[in-house]
A and B are shown apart, each in its own frame.
Chain A
Amino acid sequence: MNAKPKGVIGQSVQRIEDRPLIIGKGMFAGDISFAHQLHMRIVRSSSAHGVIKRIDTQAARALPGVHAVWTAADIPEMGPIDFREGKIEKLEPYRQPVLAIDRVRYVGEPVAAIFASDAYTAEDAADLVEVEIEDLPVIMDARAATGEFAPGLSSEAAVITQGFGDTASVFATAHAVVEIDVTVGRHSGVPLETRGAIGRYDAARDVLELHGAAKVPHKNKETLARLFGRPAAALHLFETHVGGGFGVRGEIYPEDILVLAAALRFGGAVKWIEDRREHLMAANQSREQHHKTRAAVDEKGTLLAIENEFWHDQGAYPRTHAMRVAETTCGILPGPYRVGAYKALGHYRLTNKTPAATYRAPGRYETNFVRERLLDAIAAKLNISRVDVRKQNLIRSDEMPYARPLCVLEDDVSYDSGDYAGLLDKSLKAIRWDELQSELAERRKRGELVGVGLATFVEKSGLGPTDGAHVCVDTTGAIEVITGGASVGQGFETVMAQVCAEALGVDYRNIRVVHGRTDRIDFGIGAHASRATVMTANAVHAAALIVREKALSFAAELLQSEAATLDIIDGRVIRRGESEGPSITLGEIANHLRPAAKLRRGREPGLSADGWFDTDHQVYPYGNQIAVVSIDRETGAVNVEQYVIAYDIGRAINPVLVRGQILGGFAQGLGGALYEEFLYDERGEPLSVTFADYLMPTANEVPKVDVIISEDAPSPRNPLGIKGAGESGIAAVGAAIASAVDDALGSPGAITRLPITPQRLKRILNRLASA
């Protein structure tokens, strides 16, 4: 393979992180062990709502090999779990305790913790703990009457609003009003690796360590240091390999706090690895929202106003994200369209289900479905095409940057760049939209249920405000890039190496990238909300440019040339255009910059630098998804025949990795559109606690996808022009498939709920047949 040292940005080069993963030497949480470690097992509530009358741990404690059994009474100093972004007054009383106190509120809630010499014994002991619970009435629908979370505390923990303009008066005088009532089902990231956490107290250094961290190690370190009352240098988080994140993994959960508290108290290491059944009832779930949304339009379908009332099913407790999904829902719903006035009213409601939080494209998977259902409904009502209604409402490129008085993640919405209509044309061409209409009509005549559907969307990515990185060249010329980013399998190391390599003029394969280690760098933004590449890569770029500058300035003196006439090729400083002339390697320069080196002459020691990247606003990539589906009339199964995803990413650092993000996200989105759902019975018993009940797509379900990566609209908000990639594939799958299924049924608006399971679709088919 010919990896050009310069110009490596934009190339689909091989990943540098693969080797350990393909030879079985990866180091995931379950692979981490310390001598004499204890194993933790959690005793979980089997009741969805009730008062704890008695917990009898005697038999468990008596089992040989059991070291300790804790209930809430054993850890009075461990307060409830804080929010990642700090204190939120009105939600404070709703925070989840580490172990249930007095009441349980969902099946799976941690009630007690066993610490034993091995995992099998810990599980045996957990079975011996007797928990007596007096059941209370459950709330299993966020739209149902509210109840009490605790005496005097409503299960409607918050009502949130955003908006602009006077929607009421627009609705009063509009040509037409179109209203939909739709639901997104409860599903989640479900990474193949379950959660895991290993707490370790190193008494020799007085450092408390959490191994198995992911996603936001630095943010979590801040929260945990506060909770444990330890200075920053006395608590560290270590991310190793992470078996998929998707928003779910890497947040602070009760189990993370328990392994740390136990490590500290017992003075050693405590390991916890979740099993799959636990994961499906205890890790963050997501997505479940009911929307009553309506639009006021003129006779051409111009969006004059949107009102969006929704009920967010948070489950039993707010988690570390607090209200972010519901807030994002308010701020991003209008998507790529102009709208004259807008009002969002969100009911943030607690129910007796597993707590919910973010899952890849939080607030967008939901709102893309809702908004695009609304656009289809407008097209149907006014009898105009689904393409035309979108085209005439899309924000134009000459309107960019486009600010809207809404906010997402406490950031004022301001779309940075884009040619939304141009990209839509590319997608329509790729699927052969016009020809397709007649082909599908022909097939329908023959009795087939086939249809096409589309969705357009705006993504958000790269939330700042700031990230930093450190780049260091050693005396052999090898390079280490230290970041506070995180890797969840997306190719983070490769991307950072490519950016550093291009700035510095070295081979990207000669670069090691550090991430997820709070003991190596003080700050870090982590990997969430498609920000790692935007924020951390720009910081790496800044640091690498400073190192380059240092190297050139030193070499200029040595080679008796102006720095501006020099270049770095393959890690060697040369006079520009003179590859055979005098030169000096970066390793040699690093050697001359050692603290004791003679030639250093007052320069700062080391060929290294910190770089920072600051930004005021997020960046907004955008895309379209188009689906062609057929429906099996007998079974109600949906077969996705063709799929196009077009996505403008501004600038792709590594196109094959971007494509991988899109394809992987698409498969997850397909799961949420057709198969995956956390179901509960009327008593709150979870029904989807194995992979036989929670159905994720296999290679048989995922069709080939035509991916168009467009770079028409680089972001003006960062030097590399990049936007995020992680959530584009998933973001509009529910929206596009629902539109296509409607079309196949010949019944606009038929799909009001995701996932479109065979059972649900069969009911719709029966209803349409009898109508």
Chain B
Amino acid sequence: MTRHTIQLKINEQTRTISVDARKTLLDALREDCNLTGAHAGCEHGVCGACTVIVEGEPVRSCLMFAVQAEGKTIRTVEGLAQGGALHPMQKAFTEQHAVQCGYCTPGFLMLTVAALEKTPDMDDDALREVVASNLCRCTGYENILAAVRIAADDMRRRT
């Protein structure tokens, strides 16, 4: 199998890795970049535990090959906090008890941050629709929705 040497710009750092063509972006992040925050939940794009931000869009990294991300700007949960200060979404998730086992949490953080950066003014139905893209098996979503609402306000204030 041919290996491809690619450059990925992840969390403002350029990384050069060598991967098989069939390696998913998720596996490349986890195994070749030691960024294990994004998780595999279903490996077919339904649950969203693997969500990262590629060129500003929330992406299921289990459905993208690493070679497809060549040269692209990628953000993962590890890059969300800036200089030790939590992102408003991270802060709201912990304060609103939106985390139980925490396995789906990085996916929800990246999904909602990307959605709100693109569309800062979402009404409650739109926010629920965004949150409904990913699966959580622990919380029943109420606290996740509460966190996202609060973080949305916080993000709007900061911009």
Contacts and interface: CB of A to CB of B under 8 A. Distances in A.
Interface of A: 14-15, 17-26, 28, 30-31, 120, 189-194, 241-246, 273, 275-276, 488-491, 656-657, 660, 663-668, 690-692, 696, 698-700, 702, 704-705, 729
A698 B143 CA distance: 13
Interface in B103-120: 103-106, 109
A192 B137 contact: yes
Contact of B99 (A15, A120, A699): A15
A664 B100 contact: yes
Contacts of A705: 140, 142
B140 A276 contact: no
A31 B141 CA distance: 25
Given A26-B37, A491-B100, A700 B128 contact: yes
Given A15-B97, A18-B94, A663-B143, A24 B132 contact: no
B109 A22 contact: yes
A25 B76 CA distance: 12
A14 B49 contact: no
Interface secondary structure of A, over-half rule:
loop
Contacts of A244: 100-101, 103, 137-138
A184 to B, nearest CB: 20
B36 A31 contact: yes
A41 to B, nearest CB: 14
Interface residues of B, number: 54
Contact of B100 (A275, A276, A660, A691): A660
A660 B143 contact: yes
Contacts of B81: 23
24 contacts: A14-B94, A15-B97, A22-B94, A23-B86, A24-B76, A25-B37, A28-B39, A120-B22, A191-B137, A192-B47, A192-B137, A192-B138, A193-B41, A194-B41, A241-B102, A244-B137, A245-B101, A656-B97, A657-B97, A665-B140, A666-B140, A691-B135, A692-B46, A698-B141
A667 B41 contact: no
B137 A663 contact: no
Given A22-B93, A666-B140, A690-B46, A120 B23 contact: yes
A192 B49 contact: yes
A312 B94 CA distance: 41
A489 B100 CA distance: 5
A690 B42 contact: yes
B107 to A, nearest CB: 9
Given A664-B138, A667-B140, A667-B141, A24 B37 contact: yes
B128 A699 contact: yes
B138 A489 contact: yes
Contacts of A696: 135, 137
A191 B37 contact: no
A30 B103 CA distance: 11
A663 B140 contact: yes
A670 B37 CA distance: 29
A192 B35 contact: no
* A18, A23, A663: most-surrounded residue (chain B CB, <10 A): A23
A459 to B, nearest CB: 18
Given A192-B101, A193-B101, A657-B97, A246 B137 contact: yes
B137 A24 contact: no
A551 to B, nearest CB: 32
A282 B39 CA distance: 20
B132 A700 contact: yes
B144 interface: yes
Contacts of A489: 100-103, 138
The 10 closest A-B pairs by CB, nearest first: A24-B37, A489-B101, A21-B102, A243-B103, A663-B140, A24-B77, A667-B140, A691-B46, A489-B100, A699-B141
Given A244-B137, A246-B137, A664-B139, A192 B132 contact: no
A432 B144 CA distance: 28
* B40, B44, B145: most-surrounded residue (chain A CB, <10 A): B40
Nearest to B133: A698
A23 B80 CA distance: 7
Nearest to A242: B101
A244 B105 CA distance: 12
A692 B101 CA distance: 23
Contacts of B105: 21-22
Contacts of A667: 137, 139-141
Contacts of B138: 192, 244, 489, 660, 664
Interface of B: 20, 22-23, 30, 35-44, 46-47, 49, 76-78, 80-81, 86, 90, 93-95, 97, 99-106, 109, 128-129, 131-145
A192 B42 CA distance: 8
A696 B94 CA distance: 24
B39 A702 contact: no
Given A18-B102, A24-B36, 14 more contacts: A22-B102, A24-B80, A28-B39, A28-B103, A193-B103, A242-B101, A244-B138, A276-B42, A489-B100, A660-B100, A700-B128, A702-B141, A704-B142, A729-B140
Contact of B139 (A19, A20, A663, A700): A663
A191 B140 contact: no
Nearest to B138: A664
A23 B77 contact: yes
Given A31-B36, A120-B20, A244-B138, A24 B106 contact: yes
Given A15-B94, A22-B109, A24-B37, A699 B77 contact: no
Nearest to A660: B97
A191 B44 contact: no
Given A23-B81, A700-B128, A30 B39 contact: yes
Nearest to A656: B97
* B36, B77, B133, B140: most-surrounded residue (chain A CB, <10 A): B140
B103 A191 contact: yes
Contact of B39 (A18, A243, A660): A243
A699 B144 contact: yes
* B38, B46, B49: most-surrounded residue (chain A CB, <10 A): B46
Given A21-B99, A22-B94, A192-B137, A691 B39 contact: no
Contacts of B142: 663, 702, 704-705
B137 A19 contact: no
Nearest to A691: B46
B23 A22 contact: no
A686 to B, nearest CB: 16
A699 B97 contact: no
Contacts of B40: 30, 194, 273, 275
A189 B137 CA distance: 8
B144 to A, nearest CB: 7
A253 to B, nearest CB: 19
B78 A24 contact: yes
A657 B101 CA distance: 12
A298 B94 CA distance: 54
Nearest to A119: B27
Contacts of A691: 42, 44, 46-47, 135
* A25, A26, A491, A657: most-surrounded residue (chain B CB, <10 A): A26
A664 B140 contact: yes
* B30, B49, B81, B135: most-surrounded residue (chain A CB, <10 A): B135
A657 B96 CA distance: 11
Contacts of A191: 101, 103, 137
